[in-house]
A = this chain, B = another copy of it.
Amino acid sequence: MSQIMAKREKISKRILVIGGDGIGPEVTRWGKRVLETVAEKYGHAFVFDEGLMGHAAIEATGNPLPDDTLEKAKRSDAILFGAIGHPKYDQDPHLKVRPEQGLLRIRKELGLYANLRPIKLFDELLAASSIKPEVLKGADILFFRELTGDVYFGEKKKADDGSWASDLMIYHAYEVERIARKAFEAARLRRKKLCSVDKANVLESSRLWRAVVQQVAADYPDVQCTHMFVDNAAMQLIRDPLQFDVILTANLFGDILTDEASQIAGSMGMLASASVGDGTGLYEPIHGSAPDIAGKGLANPLASILSAALMLQIGFQMQEEADAVLRAVEQVLKKGYRTVDIADKHTENSMIVGTDGMGQQVIQQLANS
């Protein structure tokens, strides 16, 4: 192995680790360990910083995104993030300083306009979904959800007398183009199929979306580009998920479809996501801070480990290294190891592991592969 590796270029990267709140720090620790193991195995130099964000940052500094964290973020090549959120804020909706503000601000400061969410099912976990295994087996979808435009950020108005309220659904051509290019580039490295989801039969903003995607598609003649209405897509995702490779869609539609698709995957505990723009990207599990199990050593670290793999693949173009992490996770699942959230009635008691047990298995598998 060392001989093969010796031929490869040694790459240096600076990575900011933000554990955040709840189970965030305990799972992110294993995502980081995986990156360290990859660096050692492949001879890369990964330098790590640590930063605070969310409730933990509010407690320490009064600010959900301290300047120190933001500065470190800007000089990093990528960010490995855990989760933020604390029950205290749910109980008091009027608190002005809130953990989520940290995440919204870092997205804005770094210009993270594209949210990527891979939905890939490990054969061993097929049974966990409410969808039939024969419908799901082999599903491998990569969502590109636009993250900074749409009706979520358009002008909001309401009548003083409460008789009406409105939100402006608006897209600029440049917003559609930049994420479309990223999605076509990704499709090129996959199965070369891109499905753009809109509601162009009814919405003007969707007609613009479709026109821009069609223009960009002309630059990628090797990628098969199709268009689908969002209501049909919501149905097709559960009817026949294997038809999809890359799905490109707007902020609102993507919010709905990615959550629907997470159920296809059976468990939120297995899904990673990336928020990227033209600079530093942020990689994180889609699960939340899960305060009810925080500190108990029960949380599933695989979504953080898969977030690290996504960073290797998308952020650093290290496909081989990313594949090695995926294979390690697959092997550990094949051996039968499960955290409680992905265990089922067929799981033997002796194979149920905690956060650290699962993390160690993956590291071992990865180091010895």
Contacts of A224 in B (CB 8 A): none
Contacts of A259 in B (CB 8 A): 231-232, 234-235
Instruction: Determine whether the beta carbon of A208 is less than 8 Å from that of B130.
Output: no
Complex Cα gap A235–B287 (Å): 14
A124 interface contact, C-beta 8 A: no
The stretch from A19-27, A149-157, A339-347 touching chain B is: A149-157
Specify the chain B residue showing the minimal Cβ separation from A169.
Answer: B167
Contact among B162, B203, B252 with A173 in the assembled complex (CB-CB below 8 Å): B162
Instruction: Determine whether the beta carbon of A230 is less than 8 Å from that of B256.
Output: yes
A132 interface contact, C-beta 8 A: yes
Instruction: Determine whether the beta carbon of A235 is less than 8 Å from that of B208.
Output: no
Instruction: Determine whether the beta carbon of B231 is less than 8 Å from that of A166.
Output: no
Contact among B130, B157, B211 with A132 in the assembled complex (CB-CB below 8 Å): B130
Chain A 115-129 against B: per-residue CB contact (8 Å), 1 yes, 0 no?
Answer: 000000000000000
Complex Cα gap A168–B208 (Å): 15
Contact among B203, B234, B264 with A257 in the assembled complex (CB-CB below 8 Å): B234
A88 interface contact, C-beta 8 A: no
Instruction: Determine whether the beta carbon of B130 is less than 8 Å from that of A238.
Output: yes
Complex Cα gap A167–B135 (Å): 36
A368 interface contact, C-beta 8 A: no
Instruction: Determine whether the beta carbon of B151 is less than 8 Å from that of A238.
Output: no
Interface of A, helix, strand, loop or mixed by DSSP: helix
Question: Which of chain A's residues 254-306 have a Cβ closer than 8 Å to chain B?
Answer: 255-260, 262-264
Contacts of A255 in B (CB 8 A): 199, 230-231
Contacts of A189 in B (CB 8 A): none
* Residues of A in contact, count (CB < 8 Å): 51
Q: Which of A163, A170, A230 has the most CB of B within 10 A?
A: A170
Contacts of A171 in B (CB 8 A): 164-166
Contact among B164, B238, B253 with A170 in the assembled complex (CB-CB below 8 Å): B164
Complex Cα gap A208–B160 (Å): 12
Given contacts A131-B130, A239-B263, A263-B238, contact A165 B207 (CB under 8 A): yes
Instruction: Determine whether the beta carbon of A157 is less than 8 Å from that of B239.
Output: no
Instruction: Determine whether the beta carbon of A172 is less than 8 Å from that of B163.
Output: yes
How distant is A168 from chain B, measured CB to nearest CB, in Å? 6
Contacts of A166 in B (CB 8 A): 154, 168-171, 204-205
Specify the chain B residue showing the minimal Cβ separation from A254.
Answer: B231
How distant is A134 from chain B, measured CB to nearest CB, in Å? 9
Specify the chain B residue showing the minimal Cβ separation from A168.
Answer: B166
Instruction: Determine whether the beta carbon of B157 is less than 8 Å from that of A164.
Output: no
How distant is A184 from chain B, measured CB to nearest CB, in Å? 20
List residues of A whose CB falls within 8 A of some B CB. Answer: 130-132, 135, 151-152, 154, 156-158, 162-174, 199, 202-205, 207-208, 211, 230-232, 234-235, 237-240, 252-253, 255-260, 262-264
30 A-B residue pairs with CB within 8 Å: A130-B131, A130-B132, A130-B240, A131-B131, A151-B203, A158-B208, A164-B170, A164-B171, A165-B170, A165-B205, A165-B207, A166-B204, A166-B205, A167-B203, A167-B205, A199-B255, A230-B256, A231-B256, A231-B259, A231-B260, A234-B257, A234-B260, A237-B260, A238-B260, A238-B263, A238-B264, A239-B263, A253-B256, A256-B256, A260-B260
* 17 more A-B residue pairs beyond the given contacts A165-B207, A231-B260, with a C-beta to C-beta distance below 8 A: A131-B131, A131-B132, A131-B238, A151-B169, A151-B203, A158-B204, A158-B207, A165-B205, A166-B168, A167-B168, A167-B204, A167-B205, A230-B256, A231-B256, A232-B259, A235-B259, A235-B260
